């Protein structure tokens, strides 16, 4: 039988393994973004004009080279940087020496709290999903 200390480490290990899997799988990441906004595939289809079937395949990582135009639409809808999605799916993303900031980006929560680690980002997405499902 595992003691409390061992159980806690086991749970942390399982959560870390799940997090690593999500971060390495762009489809699960995109799905987590959608769920954190409380949107269904049909909602995203209506707002982006990207078919429900394509979105479903995207979220299951069946599409090997997703359309950059689709990624742009999703980035806009989910409120994340386009470059982040491009990088997640494996497209090369140039690193700028001095990023250009828009007024829109200066008003986001992320601008106010600063840079997030991948783990923090996934935890925030899960928390947003939890909060938004409670409101329904």
- 9 vs 3: CA distance, rounded Å: 10
Q: Where are the domains of the chain?
A: 4-91+102-135
Per-residue pLDDT of 15-65, as tens digits, reads 545 544 444 588 988 998 999 899 999 999 999 999 999 999 999 989 988
What is the CATH number assigned to the segment(s) 4-91+102-135? 1.10.260.40
Whether 106 shows a pLDDT value over 60: the answer reads no
User: What angle is formed at CA 67 by the lines to CA 49 and CA 80, rounded to 5 degrees?
Assistant: 75
């Amino acid at each position: 039988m595992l003691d409390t200390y061992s159980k806690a480490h086991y749970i942390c290990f399982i959560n870390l393994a799940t997090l690593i899997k999500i971060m390495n799988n762009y489809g699960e990441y995109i799905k987590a973004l959608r769920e954190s906004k409380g949107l269904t595939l049909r909602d995203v289809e209506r707002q982006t004009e990207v078919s429900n079937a394509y979105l479903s395949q995207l979220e299951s990582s069946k599409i090997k080279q997703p359309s950059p135009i689709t990624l742009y639409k999703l980035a806009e809808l989910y409120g994340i940087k386009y470059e982040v999605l491009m990088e997640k799916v494996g497209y090369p993303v140039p690193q700028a020496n001095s990023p250009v900031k828009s007024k829109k980006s200066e008003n986001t929560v992320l601008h106010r709290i600063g840079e997030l680690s991948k783990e923090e980002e996934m935890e925030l997405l899960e928390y947003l999903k939890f909060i938004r499902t409670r409101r329904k």
